[in-house]
Structure 1
């Protein structure tokens, strides 16, 4: 796969590795740090994460709009500057309430940079298909593998060292960004054709009603998949550490396992996914069924090895489902909205990070404990299956109508 990736996409890929390695120093420990170090209740900590994700959604959309309206380089520059400032502040001020404010600053930066990198991945690959998005997804998970592992080592010396490590990686990313990203051909014919920079002769397209509803159902399916998935980062982390005796270091290692499996598993999965290259729906179906299986295992796990098995199923499910979502969004995006559509997809993942901890905590505390959380996860994943099925039906119908219209026009000419 590597030899087929263009230079500009490689620049984006390496940037994602550096970015997510640094961010992975922070997010796996947020819930644990707020509840155990800052003395916050699970509900209060979840509310903080809810607001953090809310600002991330807004910044994702704003970043996507800036990407389309002006330049991807401009949107990424703004996000990078905010990231450096927020992580620098976090190094010195991580008590209450400064930790919360700095976390929200990181959330703003993540939204802008993520939407920009995913849009750039689609626009810098010749076909704009799954290959580019899969490459950026793998890059992200190299960071997931390395970041928590390094953070776990630093955490033994105190959380202040973890936040210093995050700041160092933010500086490395910023240096890499300003040195290499300006070399990307932001004015290439493909980029200018699919975004709406201020150039004469470039007209913005608008989606049909079927295409718009298809995109809405795609976002809904993604949200319904991400809501259970994020429980592994939030309420299940508390369940594992406080009820099942899993240490913070062991929990961090679960996410290192997640990233390592995604990176190493590509050697096995790429040939498998190749068989489903034109069948994105099948990829998402497989992913959702593996998500369900991961919760079945976690629900019955009594020792750490059980959660390791559950994480393995969750990870393989990700490898099938997650790259397919932005690929479909890229297919649905009209010219002039590539950045916006990727921003909205990223916004759905952020919305899940916003809602899942808070809603999950309410379910656990008021609706029957951890078992109710697992039941809710199964229901949401079942609804995701329905939503993505309807999405594909509408997308195919829209494509058929467009094809029929083109044939009719060509016959008239």
Structure 2
């Protein structure tokens, strides 16, 4: 029993290591996409935005495909295949980084990466030796730690030669592939391990009540991601219009990263000692997002933007890691991959729609109207989700 637990702990450790390496690699690429296309390839910002929109939409498809592949028992092969394809696309970028090779390879990497990430999330959800909340907290922590490391190192690499970014990222993904090929075993999932589970249970569909609860949680998550994406797009322009420089805007993301990296292990530690009801946590996080988005209506100086970013980050740290845990808890074993795919789809769809919707609202009305609509949408869907959850749990 002790040896089995040790092996399971090791498997989780390798999942976390892979998550750290892959997120570090991708954090070399995504911050420079717009700058590289505009400054190095001479393309317009609108065209760069269109490429990012297409990539987000392709990632939505990839997330859905990844979930279906996992549920159909083909997760192991396709996880390795898609990680290998991502590594090959990144290797190709070292030599083919002009137009249109750069956006095409970027989109291929986004598609294959979305498939692999969904399969790996479903694999993580299958580990029953740890509470799902703890697993996803640690996965989320490693992903954000990778972003902090990547964004810190990327400036140094760019100062030497921007094309070295593609080399470093490709090397990291090759390491990621080797870890996945040798350490990511699908044989110890709950479905295979528990011999008492009958075929009927494996084929059991997720109850309609659970689907409604999942839908409510994910629709609110989508609204939050639409609002959150404003921080990564339109807020930088808004802050400059108020006389706040881009350097100060970038410091806000440093604050975001520090809070996530420090806060996530603390939450995971207390979760293991005294678990908190999943729904209480997610709705506390949603409530903090409502307060954070409301604060933007009154933000006119840098201090207020710092306060708003701190609130947004606390909401993110509390709510985001618990969402896949809720989905795992409510979905049947035979549809685990499908519903983990919907978690990724909600995030990708929010990032795809957010900047465009925000730009349309700002162009037609104002930034204040945008912030007020964000607050209203998140508040409405949070209330709907809470109502659905209450009646489902009561039943």
TM-score normalized with structure 2 length? 0.86
The CA deviation at 1:201 is 7.2
Q: How many residues are matched?
A: 388
Match of 1:221 in 2: 220
Secondary structure in 1 matching 2:333: coil
Q: What's the counterpart of residue 236 of structure 1?
A: 235
Evaluate the alpha carbon distance shift between residue 43 and residue 133 of structure 1 in structure 2; reply closer, same or farther with a 3 A threshold: same
Give 1:209's aligned residue: 208
1:381 aligned partner: 378
Q: Rate the CA distance shift 1:189–1:103 in 2: closer, same or farther, 3 A.
A: closer
Please say if residues 123 and 189 of structure 2, whose CA atoms lie closer than 8 Å, have aligned partners that are also in contact.
Answer: no
Identify the residue that residue 111 of structure 2 maps to in structure 1: 108
Structure 1 residue aligned with 2:346: 348
Deviation at 1:22, TM superposition (A): 0.6
- 5 Å matches for 1:277-356? 277-298=275-296, 306-356=304-354
6 and 273 in structure 1: CA distance in 2 versus 1, 3 angstrom threshold: closer
- Distance in 2, Cα, partners of 1:213 & 1:335: 17
**Which of 335-344 and 84-93 deviates more?**
84-93
Q: Is the partner of 2:187 in helix, strand or coil?
A: coil
Q: Which moved more, 1:127-136 or 1:61-70?
A: 127-136
Cα drift, residue 320 of structure 1: 0.6
Gaps in structure 2 of 5+ consecutive residues: none
| 1:299 CA drift (Å) | 5.3
CA distance in 2, matches of 1:351, 1:392: 23
| Alpha-carbon offset, residue 119 of structure 1 | 1.0
CA–CA separation in structure 1 for the residues paired with 2:237 and 2:93: 23
Partner Cα distance (2:202, 2:374) in 1? 43
| 1:160 correspondence with 2:157 | no
- Out of 126, 130, 133, which is 1:130 matched to? 133
| 1:300-329 residue CA offsets vs partner (Å, 9 max, x unmatched) | 556666544433222211111011211110
Asked if structure 1 preserves the Cα contact closer than 8 Å seen for 2:128 and 2:190, the reply is: no
1:262: which partner in 2?
Answer: 260
Q: Distance in 1 between matches of 2:77 and 2:307?
A: 42
Counterpart of 2:365 (choices 362, 365, 368) is 368
* Alpha-carbon contact 2:295-2:308 (below 8 Å) kept: yes
Contact kept in structure 1, 2:294 and 2:372, CA below 8 Å: no
Asked if the contact 1:83–1:110 (Cα under 8 Å) also holds between the matched residues in 2, the reply is: yes
How far off its partner does 1:242 sit? 7.5
For 2:87 and 2:391, the matched residues in 1 are separated by 42
Distance of aligned partners of 1:52 and 1:305 in 2 relative to their CA distance in 1, 3 Å threshold: same
Q: Quick one: distance in 1 between partners of 2:125 and 2:81?
A: 20
Aligned counterparts of 2:384 and 2:361: Cα–Cα separation in 1 = 23
1:31 and 1:19, CA in 2 relative to 1: closer, same or farther beyond 3 A?
Answer: same
Partners of 2:43 and 2:240 in 1: CA distance: 16
Aligned to 1:69: 72
Q: Which moved more, 1:322-331 or 1:256-265?
A: 256-265
Give the aligned CA root-mean-square deviation in angstroms: 3.1
What does the per-residue CA deviation read over 1:41-75, in whole Å, with 9 as the maximum and x for residues that have no partner?
A: 55543332222111111111111111121243223
Compared CA separation, residues 126 and 273, structure 1 to 2 (3 A): closer
Contact 1:87 1:166 in 2 (8 A): yes
Is 1:392 matched with 2:389? Answer: yes
Q: 1:145 to 1:263 in 2, by over 3 A?
A: same
TM-score by length of 1: 0.82
